[in-house]
Amino acid sequence: MSTATSRRLGTSGSIRAEFRAADFGDKRLTNRLQQIGQALGSAPAESIPNACENWASVKGTYRFCDNESVDPKEVLSAHEQAQRSRLTGVGELLLISDTTHLTFPSHPSKEGLGEVGTDEMDLEGVKVHSTIGVLPTTGQMTGILDQQALLEDREKGRVYDSNGRGKPTGLESEREKWIRGDRRASSGLPEGVRPIFVHDRGADAFPVFRKLRSGIADGGFVVRANQNRCIRTADGQEARLLDWSKTLPGKGRTRIRIQQGGDRESREAVLSVKSGTCELLPPKNDPSEKDPVEVNVVRIEEIGEEEDPGQEGPVQWVLLTTEPTDDFKKALTVIDYYRTRWRIEEWHKALKTGCQVEDRQLQTWERMEVLLSIFSVIAWKVLQLRHLARGKHVPPDFFLTDAERAVLKEKYPELGSEGSGDWAIAIAKIGGYLDRSSDPPPGWQTLWKGLKKVQTWAEGYRIRAS
């Protein structure tokens, strides 16, 4: 990565820069947004009263969220404009989409929510479907490209996009969120950037494949299959996708690290890799779909792992893609693209745990959606720290102020200027990271905890120096 690109993608500069282009028709509102972003970004897990410097700032934050002129879509639009400038000259970008549920069980009076629970558990909240950008070369998240807040009315059997300050927009079905998100996210990319859409099993729907194949020029996709759908093989035979994929020729074996999640412990998995080409046949119950969609297929199966009834089973993925898979190296690239999908799950965790967005004390979803748009950008900034901790290509002045570097040098005189890794590890140690040879790289929570302490020390340093 070039120095110029590193500077654009680092955490240097203020969160204020992400909101500079916001246009609410009143410059004072743009200034207020920048102030709010700076305050909440400095203490993302704190309540609004604790994060803001004084009562006037607290009231200003609440009034901003309640202002009819403030549309959450414009908040994210400003961030998207800032992101677009960082993407200039990038050849390809992974556009990763997924849905998370925000529930508010501690706020029974919150207005404007939909249904997100089950028949056994009645919960109110929203489904937030977001699309983020990730660089395929480094795995670094570039920002949020689209966000839909979906409200479900089960009694009417409808799903609505809350649409910010506008009138809620009805969706024909929940699968439409994939098509809308892909179209809107790709439309905001700079010229020359090729989008590759990466989706999990929820996007396995024929209209999604058709739109991705024909509706977005030069775009590609990697989607994990969920259905044993009807296909036509290269030799003209009809078959079922999941069954046929078992018979594909092997390309080789690879090892990947399976992340910890739920009851599943982190482990290294050995995988067999197979690939082939087929056509997805249109569903017979939908007369609007007539033409098949050609895809390449990669099948991945874990070797030597017995299924445990108490845990998630061994890895078995069938990936449908536009990208070439005719040799082992190309198939591995497709697998790597799909594995970057974990970035959006990490961002969801930063949004919920790091920014405590479900605990915010605002009474209506209309106000909460403004706050969500701000915290969505802050959560991206939080994750940037962890990325910097895992590489040494970014100088420390790209993400630390002079005062922050000065107090860190006082505590760790051995720190140099060669890269971000050692400085980020120093921050993590202040946050409780032990830095033993057997320890994995520090997580964003530890880094953020350490950075908050460093920022406090730096403030004292600036006061003494003034």
One domain for residues 409 and 435: yes
Which residue in this structure is represented by tokens 């609004």? 48
Q: Are 458 and 401 in contact (CB under 8 A)?
A: yes
Q: CATH number of the domain at 415, please.
A: 1.10.740.10
CA-CA distance, 428 to 447, in Å (whole number)? 5
Kindly state whether residue 42 falls inside one of the protein's structural domains.
yes
One domain for residues 151 and 108: yes
Kindly state whether residue 241 falls inside one of the protein's structural domains.
no
Kindly state whether residue 458 falls inside one of the protein's structural domains.
yes
pLDDT of residue 259: 64
Kindly state whether residue 331 falls inside one of the protein's structural domains.
no
One domain for residues 78 and 91: yes
Phi, psi of 15 (to 5 degrees): -60, -20
Please state the domain count of the chain: 2
One domain for residues 47 and 150: yes
pLDDT of residue 121: 61
Considering Cα of 104, then 108, then 113, then 117, what sign does the dihedral take? positive
Domain with 82 in it: 1-200+341-389
Kindly state whether residue 262 falls inside one of the protein's structural domains.
no
Q: Among the three residues 325, 359, 389, which one is the final residue of a domain in this structure?
A: 389
Q: Among the three residues 374, 389, 404, which one is the final residue of a domain in this structure?
A: 389
Kindly state whether residue 206 falls inside one of the protein's structural domains.
no
One domain for residues 348 and 451: no
pLDDT tens, the chain, 466 aa long: 443 333 333 333 468 889 999 999 999 999 999 999 988 887 788 889 988 889 999 999 999 999 999 999 999 999 999 999 889 889 999 999 999 999 876 555 667 788 776 655 667 889 999 999 999 988 889 999 999 999 988 878 888 888 888 888 888 888 899 999 999 999 989 999 999 999 999 999 999 998 888 777 788 999 999 999 999 999 999 999 999 999 999 999 988 877 655 555 667 788 899 999 999 999 888 777 788 999 999 999 988 654 444 445 678 899 999 999 999 999 999 999 999 999 999 999 999 988 889 988 788 889 999 999 999 999 998 887 777 666 655 667 666 778 888 899 999 998 876 667 788 889 889 999 998 888 888 877 788 788 878 888 888 877 887 7
The pTM assigned to this predicted structure is 0.85
At position 155, the amino acid (one-letter code) is E
One domain for residues 68 and 102: yes
pLDDT of residue 26: 95
One domain for residues 398 and 444: yes
pLDDT of residue 111: 75
Tokens at 330, concatenated: 């190309």
One domain for residues 114 and 89: yes
Q: Among the three residues 369, 389, 409, which one is the final residue of a domain in this structure?
A: 389
CA-CA distance, 89 to 79, in Å (whole number)? 18
pLDDT of residue 418: 63
Kindly state whether residue 288 falls inside one of the protein's structural domains.
no
One domain for residues 354 and 447: no
One domain for residues 348 and 453: no
The crossing angle, in degrees rounded to 10, of helices 444-465 and 402-411 is 100
Kindly state whether residue 171 falls inside one of the protein's structural domains.
yes
One domain for residues 160 and 185: yes
One domain for residues 366 and 455: no
